[in-house]
């Protein structure tokens, strides 16, 4: 009887952990898709000279990268590889924000492009995490 109860408890815990990981994978997927969309928009608007749009989309990239960092499973090798790239995207977007919208959009385009590159590279790792089922 005690062994059966222990089995039920362990199964419940295992199912709970699996659903949390599935939820975080879904959140990573959703935030990642939105982050890449905003990263592309950010650079596109930079090419058109719209400094305010660059700052807006960079803030969105930062929001999504931060959200992904918050739900990355601990100890996952792909997540660990993506984390510094997400931090790099955040750092470059902070540079854009620090420049403000009054600066020549060409000046903010350089860190915006670097943020986009870091976000894309991070998503390669995060997609591998998702595909491997980890």
Q: Which domains does the chain have, with CATH numbers?
A: 38-70+80-134 (1.20.120)
pLDDT at residue 5 greater than cutoff 50: no
pTM reported for the whole predicted model:
0.79
Which among 64, 66, 39, 67 has a CA at the least distance from the CA of 53? Answer: 39
Q: What is the pLDDT of residues 48-98, one digit of tens each?
A: 888 899 999 999 999 999 999 999 988 899 999 999 999 999 999 999 999
The answer to whether 96 and 55 have CB atoms below 8 angstroms apart is: yes
pLDDT at residue 7 greater than cutoff 50: no
């Amino acid at each position: 009887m005690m062994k059966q109860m222990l089995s039920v408890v362990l199964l419940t815990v295992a199912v709970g952990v699996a659903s949390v990981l599935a939820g975080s994978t879904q959140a990573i997927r959703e935030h990642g898709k939105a982050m890449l969309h905003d990263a592309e928009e950010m650079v596109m608007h930079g090419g058109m000279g719209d400094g305010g749009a660059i700052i807006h989309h960079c803030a969105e990239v930062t929001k999504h990268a931060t959200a992904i960092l918050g739900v990355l499973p601990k100890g996952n090798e792909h997540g660990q590889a993506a984390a510094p790239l997400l931090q790099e995207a955040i750092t470059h977007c902070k540079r854009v924000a620090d420049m403000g919208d009054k600066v020549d959009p060409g000046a903010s385009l350089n860190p915006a492009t670097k943020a986009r590159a870091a976000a894309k590279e991070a998503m390669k790792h995060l997609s591998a995490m998702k595909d491997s089922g980890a």
